[in-house]
Structure 1
Amino acid sequence: MNITRNNVDALNAIVTVEVTKDDYAGQVEKVLADYRKNASIPGFRKGAVPMSLIKKQYGKAVLLDEVNKLLQNSLNNYLVEEKLDILGNPLPKVTEDFNWDAEDYKFEFELGLAPEFNVDLTAKNKITKYTIVADDKMLDEQVERIQKQYGKLISKEKVEEGDDIRGTFSNEEKGINNSVNISLDIFKRKTDVKKFIGKKVGDVVALGTKGLFDDDHKLMDYLRVDHDDVHGLDVEVNFTVEEINTSEKAELNQELFDKLFGAGNVTSVEEVKAKIKEDAEQQFAAQADQKFLNDVTEFLIENTKFDLPAEFLKKWIQTVGENPLTEEQAEEEYAKSENGLRYQLIEGKVIVENNLQTTFDELKDFTADLIKKQMAQFGQMNPTDADVDGIVARVLSNQEEVKRLSEQIMSQKMVNLFKEKVSATTKEVSYQDFIKEMYGE
């Protein structure tokens, strides 16, 4: 067998595999001999069928199968030995006059080669790295929400200011149908608040969405409207009143503190706010990290210049799915996936150049930490090591979970690396301001 490569250019190559009879004949004879031992053909005893008949009936199929196996193994070994970094898979070149009745064969495969390029993490950029703080307004609102949540709920017949109302926002044309709990102070206009005063269960209040709240993003929460639709949304929605309550706020005393945080852990309102601030900012940090990662990703895709073997990849895309694609469909798929492929190559290079690896111990510790947090949400604050280790073992026996968790760890390693090397501008913002920045407003 002889394998040669012709580099068409820096991104494309043709590999030629020449197979002779000596390469496959022995294995073909062995397989046919096994067929003969087990063949059941009328008129012949098992194992006594003439080899000529076996070859006539099975010879061509066995030949094709064994040559194909030999071809795939040899090609794969060649790619490994030559350390070729390819994109997609080798594509066989179709030969119209290929002759399987010959004894020696020549096969050609097209390769798409990964490009050579450099990634500059220190390049000048306009990226902002946000620190999100829980401001006093948010802390006060959270404390009040806790007081309402743990206060005494009193059912009412008519709506008055300060009441809590359960009901459903609806608009058939826009597909809005969302049940919510609201207090009247969420509305920006006093005229909208007045529409509710005196209403009873079953009454319907018509509201205009334009300027309904002090921030259009709240339409996403209360009406379940997509972000692309919230700005300038100007339709009428109906709110059907289903329940009216007022709440006698819970006192901010030690009994409430113990109920929230465990006996003696918090002893004052200031400590309650400090705890809320700590928990909220931990969650905010994860969101800020994700935006930072997204922004760095976009920057690297836009500013790391290299060519791809585009025509090869389009041909490859036509063949990889369950159903072959037309040239036009492959063109569309390539356009959709090109940036993703570019970032895969960039990310791979960054990982290799910075020796980012995930060890099994890291995977176990990361999984255990996630499990402990989940158990804490259900009131299991101090699980035993044995309980956690047992759950970790079950989770890590699932390869899909291992892949998902490993990707999360690597994503965090990438964030940490980018924080260290990418010279972004830092900015401290409230959560509301961060939401506006995140959506580019």
Structure 2
Amino acid sequence: MNISKEQLDELNAVVTVDIAKEDYSDKVDKILSDYRKNANIPGFRKGHVPMGLVKKQYGKAVLVDEVNKLLQDALNKYLTEEKLDVLGNPLPKEQENFNWDTDNYSFEFELGLAPKFEVKLNGKKAITHYKIVANDEMIDNQIKTIQKQYGKLISKDTAEKDDLIAGTFVNEEKEIDNATTVSLDKIKGKKNLDKFIGAKVGDVIKVKTKGLFSDDHDLISALKINHDDAHDLNVEVVFTVSEINTQELADLDQDLFDKLYGPGTIKTVTDLRNKIKEDAERQFEQQSEQQLLNDITENVLENTKFDLPIEFLQKWIRATGEQPLTEDEAKDEYEKSEKGLRYQLIEGKIINDNNLQVTFEELKDFAKELIKGQMAQFGQNSPEDKELEDIAARILSNQDEVKRISEQMMSKKLLTYFKENAKLKEKEVSFDEFIKEVYK
């Protein structure tokens, strides 16, 4: 057997595998001999079928199967030994007039090679690393929400601002008939609000759906309609009042603090505000870190330039797709996936150049920390190490879980690397400012 490579350019090559009769003949003869011993062919005793008949019936299929096995093993071994970094898989070249009736065979494979490049982590501008803080307004709103949640409802005769009005929205044409409770602080516009203020049980209120609520999601909930219908809905609905309540806020006292966080954990309103701020900013940190990872990814893609074997990759997409694709369809698929492929190559180089690979021990320790965090949510703050080991072992026996946790770990490692090496500028913002800046 002989394998040779023709380098067409930096990104494309052709590998030729020459297979001679002596490479496969012994294996084929042995398999046919075994077939002869076990073949059941009418007119012949078992084990006495003429070899010529066995070769005629099975010879070609066995030959093709064994040559293909030999070919794949040899090609994979060659790519490994030569340390060829290929994209996709080798593609067999079409060979006209290929003849299985000869003794020696030659096969050609096209290769798309990964480009050589240097990662450009930093562009001209520093990347913003947002530090999202819980401001006083957010903390005030959270405290009010808590007070409402733990407060009590008091029935009223007449609706006033910020009351809760229960009733039924109806529109026969759109088949709307939904009993709900409306919080008047969510009604949009003075004109709409004035129709509800002063209402009594049994009153009928007619309003337009367009612009009724500040948030479309409130309209979806109030009318029980789907998301798509809510956006452009502009019809008149009839709301019949069935109940009016005001919400008496819970007192900010020790009883409430103990209900929220356990006995004695929080003792003053200042403690409560600090706890809310701490919890909120811990959640914000996850969003900030994810945004930083997204922004650095875009930055690296923009600044790291290299060529790809585009023609080969489009051909590979056509050859490996679940459904047959035209050239134009394969081109579209390539364009959709090109950005992801580029980042995959960049990420792989960063991982290899900086030894960021995830080891099994790291994976197990990371899984145990995740388990401890989940157990803490249910009040189990000091699990025994053996219990953690057993749960981690069960989780890591599931390949899907291993993949999911490995990806989490790798994202964490990459983020640490980026923080240490990228040009960053910290910017302190409120959550609303963060949303405004990031999502424009």
Q: Same fold (TM over 0.5)?
A: yes
Pair 266,17 (structure 1): closer, same or farther in 2 beyond 3 Å: same
How do 1:56-95 and structure 2 match up within 5 A? 56-95=56-95
Pair 4,263 (structure 1): closer, same or farther in 2 beyond 3 Å: same
CA contact (8 A) 1:128 1:427 kept: yes
Amino acid paired to 1:206? V
CA contact (8 A) 1:139 1:273 kept: yes
CA distance in 1 between partners of 2:409 and 2:160 (Å):
51
Cα offset, 1:438, TM superposition: 1.5
Pair 330,244 (structure 1): closer, same or farther in 2 beyond 3 Å: farther
Cα offset, 1:23, TM superposition: 0.5
Pair 11,173 (structure 1): closer, same or farther in 2 beyond 3 Å: farther
Amino acid paired to 2:153? L
Q: Number of residue pairs matched?
A: 430
Matched, 1:206 2:204: no
Unaligned runs of 5+ residues in structure 2 are 222-226
CA contact (8 A) 2:14 2:109 kept: yes
Percent pairwise identity: 59
SS of 1:195's equivalent in the other structure is helix
**Which string of whole-angstrom CA distances, capped at 9 and with x for unpartnered residues, describes residues 40-90 of structure 1?**
111222222111111100000000000000000000000000000000000
CA distance in 2 between partners of 1:146 and 1:390 (Å):
39
Structure exhibiting the larger radius of gyration computed from Cα positions: 2
CA distance in 2 between partners of 1:123 and 1:205 (Å):
58
Cα offset, 1:381, TM superposition: 4.6
Could you say which residue in structure 1 is the equivalent of 2:162? Answer: 162
How do 1:14-93 and structure 2 match up within 5 A? 14-93=14-93
TM norm structure 2: 0.88
Pair 96,370 (structure 1): closer, same or farther in 2 beyond 3 Å: same
Could you say which residue in structure 2 is the equivalent of 1:370? Answer: 370
Amino acid paired to 1:392? A
Pair 116,209 (structure 1): closer, same or farther in 2 beyond 3 Å: farther
SS of 2:342's equivalent in the other structure is helix
Amino acid paired to 2:207? A
Could you say which residue in structure 1 is the equivalent of 2:268? Answer: 268
Could you say which residue in structure 2 is the equivalent of 1:106? Answer: 106
Could you say which residue in structure 2 is the equivalent of 1:284? Answer: 284
CA RMSD of aligned residues (A): 3.2
**Which string of whole-angstrom CA distances, capped at 9 and with x for unpartnered residues, describes residues 308-367 of structure 1?**
100100010012133232212111110100000000001111111221122223222322
Pair 270,76 (structure 1): closer, same or farther in 2 beyond 3 Å: same
Amino acid paired to 1:405? I
Pair 275,207 (structure 1): closer, same or farther in 2 beyond 3 Å: farther
Could you say which residue in structure 2 is the equivalent of 1:300? Answer: 300
Cα offset, 1:22, TM superposition: 0.5
**Which string of whole-angstrom CA distances, capped at 9 and with x for unpartnered residues, describes residues 258-303 of structure 1?**
1111111111111111111111111111111111111111111122
Pair 58,147 (structure 1): closer, same or farther in 2 beyond 3 Å: same
SS of 1:146's equivalent in the other structure is helix
Could you say which residue in structure 1 is the equivalent of 2:224? Answer: none
SS of 2:263's equivalent in the other structure is coil
Cα offset, 1:164, TM superposition: 3.4
Matched, 1:236 2:234: yes
Could you say which residue in structure 1 is the equivalent of 2:359? Answer: 359
Amino acid paired to 1:398? N
SS of 1:99's equivalent in the other structure is coil
Pair 368,222 (structure 1): closer, same or farther in 2 beyond 3 Å: farther
CA distance in 1 between partners of 2:177 and 2:383 (Å):
41
Could you say which residue in structure 2 is the equivalent of 1:421? Answer: 421
How do 1:376-395 and structure 2 match up within 5 A? 376-395=376-395
Cα offset, 1:109, TM superposition: 0.2
Could you say which residue in structure 2 is the equivalent of 1:333? Answer: 333
Cα offset, 1:408, TM superposition: 0.7
Unaligned runs of 5+ residues in structure 1 are none
Pair 134,20 (structure 1): closer, same or farther in 2 beyond 3 Å: same
Amino acid paired to 2:394? R
Cα offset, 1:234, TM superposition: 6.5
